[in-house]
Amino acid sequence: MPELVSNERVGRSLLREEVSERIKRYILDNRLRPGAPLPTENELCAALGASRSSVREAIKTLDALDIVEVRHGHGTYVGELSLSALVEGLTFRGLLSPDDEFAVLSELVEVRELFERGNAERILGALDTEQLAGLDELVDRMDRGEDTAGADRAFHSMLVHPLGNELVCQLTDAFWDVYTTVAPHLGLPIDEHDTVALHRGIIDAARAEDLAGFTKAVAAHYAPLRHRISAARG
């Protein structure tokens, strides 16, 4: 039976959460941007009306979430606000799902496809010659077997980048990272057999500004992933 948590530990946890919220409010109220330095520990204690131990525990919590970044010997800074905590949470959920261990992968593929197919018209209108050439180079890397997985990740990141939506770009990368971490543990391959041809099909349709062809090419790209997950689920 799990050990009962003492009232003292509960109190410390609640206090840490309260100080964490105060630090986040300090960042917002002072309009601090990623990379901006935070006050020293003593200054934070005075500004927040909190003890040194509470501030230290709160900083550790926020550091794990990438809300702040502790640079040892230099101080504490506003973090890059990445989605690393989301990636870790989804990865653990995918590896330890009590009902359907393939559900997370299926949902990830669905959302990734939705980002690209749902924004197809905007993507085609925003991609320029230089970006299309960059996509070509990434597929050439796949064809040469040079970090195929990394080139594939960069391809989809570059595909949605012209949308100018930072959250979509971050989620695209995050969902890719989760998929490539969880899939091998469930016995699913990461690379598709005809991945080069599938990616070239997306580029060809984009270059021709063929909206119907683009959405069809994107669907064809994700179809093998869906099929493998469906087959694995039985």
What pTM value is reported for the model?
0.66
Q: Are residues 226 and 179 in the same domain?
A: yes
pLDDT of residue 15: 76
User: Does residue 152 fall inside a structural domain?
Assistant: yes
Residue 127, classed as helix, strand or coil, is: coil
Q: Are residues 148 and 200 in the same domain?
A: yes
Q: Are residues 105 and 40 in the same domain?
A: no
pLDDT of residue 84: 66
Range of the domain at 22: 7-78
Question: pLDDT tens, 143-189?
Answer: 999 989 899 999 999 999 999 998 888 888 888 888 888 888 777 77
| Strand ranges in the chain using DSSP code E only, listed in sequence order | 68-71, 75-78
Q: Are residues 62 and 169 in the same domain?
A: no
pLDDT of residue 3: 43
Q: Which of 33, 52, 78 is at the close of a domain?
A: 78
Question: Which CATH number do you get for residue 94?
Answer: 1.20.120.530
User: Does residue 1 fall inside a structural domain?
Assistant: no
Q: Considering the chain, what percentage of its residues have pLDDT values greater than 70? A: 83
The residue whose two tokens read 């960042």 is: 27
Q: How far is CA 55 from CA 59, 88, 122, 147, 228, in A?
A: 6, 24, 45, 43, 48
Task: Quote the DSSP letter at residue 69.
Answer: E
Question: With contact defined as beta carbons under 8 Å apart, do 102 and 229 qualify?
Answer: yes
Q: Are residues 206 and 147 in the same domain?
A: yes
Q: Are residues 110 and 42 in the same domain?
A: no
Residues (pLDDT < 50) of the chain are 1-14, 98
Q: Which of 44, 78, 112 is at the close of a domain?
A: 78
